[in-house]
Structures are given as C-alpha cells and as structure tokens.
Amino acid sequence: MERTLIKHALGSDREQDAIRIQGWVSTRRDSKSFSFLEINDGTCLTNIQTVVDAGIPGYDQIHDASTGAAVCIDGRLVASQGKGQAWEIVATQLEIVGRSDDSYPLQKKGHSLEYLREIAHLRPRSNLFGCVFRVRNRLSQAVHNFFQERDFIHIHSPIITTSDCEGAGELFRVTTLDPVDPPKIDGQVDYSQDFFARPAYLTVSGQLEAEIFACALSNVYTFGPTFRAENSNTSRHANEFWMIEPEMAFCDLNGDMDLAEAFVKYLIKDILENCQEDLSLFGKFVDKGLLERLKFVLERPFQRVSYTEAIELLLKADRKFEFPINYGVNLQSEHERYLTEEHFKCPVTVFNYPKEIKPFYMRVSDDGKTVAAMDVLVPGIGEIVGGSQREERLDMLKENLKRHNLTEEDYWWYLDLRKFGTTPHAGFGLGFERMLMFVTGVANIRDVIPFARTPGSAEF
C-alpha cells in the first residue's frame, strides 16, 4: 500500500477504508484492550490519533511503540470521536520500523532552546522546530515567487570569491596550502602557489556578481549562503547565513526602497496565508503578540527617515544608550530598535548614510557627504535589509576605490561595467534568517537555521 502523509490524511474529505501512514510515535496511552498512539511525520504540526486494538497483527510489539519509535500503520481513516480533530485511524496492522532507545531525549516536553541546540540532530522532531523548518521552507518558496512574478532572473552567484564586497575584512579563507608549512616569500605566505593562484575566500555577498548580471539581464536576484568571520556573539548574527540579493538596472534608491518594502510585506502576507497552523504555535508559545504585529506591519507604510533625521531623533530621545550617538556613527542595534520599536512603532527605512561608514560601491550623493544607502529596520530585530544605489559613474567609482584603499587592478571588471553602457542601478540584501525570526517571533538566529555556525560552535 502507498503511504499517505499525515497532513493529507488529516485534510481528507472522506473516510478511507485502507490507508497507510508512517511516522514517529509522539505519545502512547494503553488501556486494557487497546492503545492510543499519536503519530507525527513532520508534514504538519498536528499528530494523527490512532486506535490500535489488542487483536490486530503487530499488537504484540506495542511495548516497542515508545515515544520516538518509527512505525508504519495500516488502517481505516474514520471520523474522530474525540475533540480537536476530524479524522483518526483505526489500525488494522502495526509495524515497528525502528525502536527508540529509552534514552531518547525528547520524551519529556518543555526542554530549553539552549538544550535543544545541543541536540540539533533531534530537535527537528520537536513541535517548535518542525514549525520553524516548515515555515523556513515556505518562506524560501515565497522569495522565489515574489521575484519570479516580477520577471527577476535568479542568478547562482559563486560561493568562492576573491573579492571582499563589504570591505569589512570578515573573510573565511579558502586554501589548500599546508597549514603547517605554507610556501613563503619574504616571510609572507605565497598565495600565488595556492589552489586559485591568489587569495580566495567564502563569499560575504553575491552583490558584485549580481550587478554584473543586472547590467545584462535587467532585474536579477541571488539567494545563497553567505559567510562572515565576524566575532559577534549575538542573537542576530550567524557566521553562515542565507541572503537574498536583488539587483535592478535603471533603478535608483527610491525604487530600491519601494522594492524592499513590497518584498518584506509580500513575505509576511504569504506566511500569514500559508502557514496558519505553524504560526498558531508561535503565537501561543513563542510570542503572544506575533499575529497582531504581522498584520499591523502589513497594513501600514514603512516610515522613511534620513540618517540625519534618525540621529536627531536619537539625540532627542529620553534615553541613555550604551553606545553614544552623534553624526557619523554606525547605528547600533539599540539605536535601531529604539527607532522602530519605541519611536515609530513600525518598520523604518533609514536612508542616506555618511559615506565614511559605508562600502566603496555606494553612490555618492550630490551633497558629497552621504551615499545613497538604505537599511530597513523592524521591531524586535533591527536591521533586516541593507542596500543602496550603486556608483555608476566611472570617475566617482575610481575615487571611491582610492578612498577605501582598493586598487583599480583588482576591480577592473567592476570598472568595466561603468565603461560599457553604465546605468543607474540599485539593490539590497535581505537576511533570510532575520526575516524568519521576524515572521516566527523566534528570538535567536540559532533557532531558525538547521545547523548554526557561530563563534566557537560548529558541531554538526
């Protein structure tokens, strides 16, 4: 008999004489002449209730149907007698596919998230993590739907690169040189003898490659893993995370901000519509205000303020910040959260940052002081999107490179884009995990990624 996924069994529109489900035992209750099994196969949050009569084939193994055991059950799908669900299964045959040892750690409920991180190989079987990873799957699909509906072309940008797009020096090196005895010239490692004949790294952003393709295919996006060797042990930073980076030719900062806002709202709407069951768990156990907040964000335009205005608001704030505020500083998470959570009480797009604190590729504004950058900040998280209009003028770009101590030789191909049919263009990066935190209310980035990579931690 073919397997029916539990989500389809529970969503059935009729009784079924013969059905087979396969999954893991969530709970078992025994009475004299039958047992109740709750089975989950990860396709939805709800377990299917199964009545196993003592007389059926396989019942002699019922003591092995303990929490965590893998089972295959054949039976009839019938209207449920109990409350809460429409269908249940009356088993006609029970097979224990894989016993679960008595030491199975998820027998008890209510483990802390910290403990569950230590058993990242088992936590997807818990209710919470099942919900997180189903929503993650849907969110990923919604990302593609959004861009495909708008004629953006998906580009697979490389994971190994030789340039530091963000210029922050937070690069993981990729090398095949002998770590104990690398070749050297004048006391320095000779990377010309390395695999790619030059220093190579894991990418910190697919933007530069996306720009190349936008300057040919008009509207493109990348969606890939991103690596940053930054030693920030916070609830919002991971060293490996996923980023979506659209890039649009013939587009300026306003168009960029419009797209970012439309994108964030589209993703929220999609999850509200398609992940109701999973969201209900987050609303109940993770963040009571979640659903209202998501609906609130959907209904209103994001506030837009310039960096200068944002600094003024922060200076006026009746509040002591750990990091002092003045014109020219990078906004810290406490500042971002003040703006979005306390002052505006909604998402905020901050634009036009001082050029000194932003990377070389951003377009210098007419004031000569700021660049056409923008960040979208959301309550509970802070920065979720970072983007900009790019410098499309060859001479200005050369100046930017100089100011950032970068050489024209290293960026000859990037300069070429400005030589051959240059055009205003703009794009941004959305942190996929941060977006997932926002739609689920889960407070730590380690709990929305299958296997978190953070300083000092990469067990699995």
| Residues lying near Mg ion in the complex (CB under 5 A) | 386
- Rounded CA gap, 439 and 294, in Å? 7
The residue (of 28 and 446) whose beta carbon lies closer to ligand 4AD is 446
**How far is CA 304 from its chain centroid?**
24
Residue 358 touching ligand 4AD (CB under 6 A)? no
346 binds ligand 4AD (CB under 6 A): no
CB 403 within 8 A of CB 395: no
C-beta of 52 vs 381, nearer to Mg ion:
381
384 binds ligand 4AD (CB under 6 A): yes
Q: What gap in Å lies between CA 73 and CA 57, rounded to an integer?
A: 11
Give the number of other Cβ atoms within 10 Å of residue 389's Cβ: 27
238 binds, among Mg ion, ligand 4AD, none (CB under 5 to 8 A by kind): ligand 4AD
Residue 400 sits in the site that holds ligand 4AD (CB under 6 A): no
Q: Which of 130, 347, 386, 441 binds ligand 4AD (CB under 6 A)?
A: 386
Nearer to ligand 4AD, 50 or 352 (CB): 352
Query: Which token pair is 111?
Result: 């483990």
Contacting range for ligand 4AD; rule: CB under 6 A; set: 134-142, 267-275, 427-435, 451-459: 427-435
Residues 6+ away with beta carbon under 8 Å from 88: 48, 49, 50, 51, 77, 78, 79, 80, 81, 82
Secondary structure element (H or E) that encloses residue 432, with its range: helix 432-440
Q: Are 368 and 318 in contact (CB under 8 A)?
A: no
Return d(Cα 127, Cα 131) in angstroms, integer. Answer: 6
Among residues 132 and 165, whose Cβ is nearest to Mg ion? 165
**AA letter at 443:** A
Strand spans (E) along 184-302: 184-185, 188-189, 200-202, 219-227, 240-249
The residues near 83 (Cβ < 8 Å, ≥ 6 apart) are: none
377 binds, among ligand 4AD, Mg ion, none (CB under 5 to 8 A by kind): none
Q: Which residues contact 136 (CB under 8 A, 6 or more apart)?
A: 436, 448
Nearer to ligand 4AD, 165 or 171 (CB): 165
Q: How far apart are CA 238 and CA 222, in angstroms?
A: 19
- Residue 61: what are its φ and ψ, rounded to 5°? -95, 5
163 part of the interface to ligand 4AD, by CB under 6 A: no
Using the minimum distance from each CB to ligand 4AD, give the nearer residue, 207 or 444. 207
75 versus 386: smaller Cβ distance to Mg ion: 386
Closest separation in Å from C-beta 203 to Mg ion: 16
Q: Residues near 242 by Cβ (< 8 Å), separated by ≥ 6?
A: 223, 224, 225, 226, 431, 432, 433, 449
* Helices and strands (H, E) in the chain, number of each type: 12, 18
Instruction: Determine if 166 is a binding residue for ligand 4AD (CB under 6 A).
Output: yes
Residues in binding contact with ligand 4AD, number by CB under 6 A? 24
- 429 binds ligand 4AD per the rule CB under 6 A: yes
Among 40, 49, 50, 205, binds ligand 4AD (CB under 6 A): 205
**Least distance (Å) between residue 365 CB and ligand 4AD:** 17
Min. distance of Cβ 263 from ligand 4AD in angstroms?
Answer: 12
Q: Tell which one of 433, 440, 441, 454 touches ligand 4AD (CB under 6 A).
A: 433
β-partners of residue 153 are 220
Binding site partner of 385, from ligand 4AD, Mg ion, none, Cβ cut-off 5-8 A by kind: ligand 4AD
Q: Judged by CB under 6 A, does residue 336 bind ligand 4AD?
A: no
290-294: Cβ within 8 A, 24+ apart: 290/440, 290/441, 293/379, 294/268, 294/439
Residue 389 Cβ vs Mg ion, minimum distance, rounded to whole Å: 15
Nearest to 147 by CA among 57, 222, 213: 222
Instruction: Report the relative pairing of strands 153-154 and 34-40 from DSSP bridges.
Output: unpaired
428 lines the binding site for ligand 4AD (CB under 6 A)? yes
Q: Which does 353 bind (CB under 5 to 8 A by kind): Mg ion, ligand 4AD, none?
A: none
Binding span for ligand 4AD by CB under 6 A among 9-17, 106-114, 317-325, 378-386: 378-386
The interface mask with ligand 4AD, positions 219-248, x = CB under 6 A, is ---------x-x------xx--x-x-x---
If binding is defined by CB under 6 A, does position 165 make contact with ligand 4AD?
A: yes
**For residues 39 and 171, which CB has a smaller minimum distance to Mg ion in the complex?**
171
Alpha carbons within 13 angstroms on the beta-carbon side of residue 269 total 11
Percent helix, strand, coil in the chain, to 5, is 35, 25, 40
Taking the complex as a whole, the smallest distance from the CB of residue 132 to ligand 4AD amounts, in Å, to 16
Of 238 and 442, which CB lies nearer to ligand 4AD in the complex structure?
238
438 lies in the binding site for ligand 4AD (CB under 6 A): no
The site for ligand 4AD (CB under 6 A) is made up of 165-166, 205, 207, 228, 230, 237-238, 241, 243, 245, 383-388, 427-429, 431, 433-434, 445
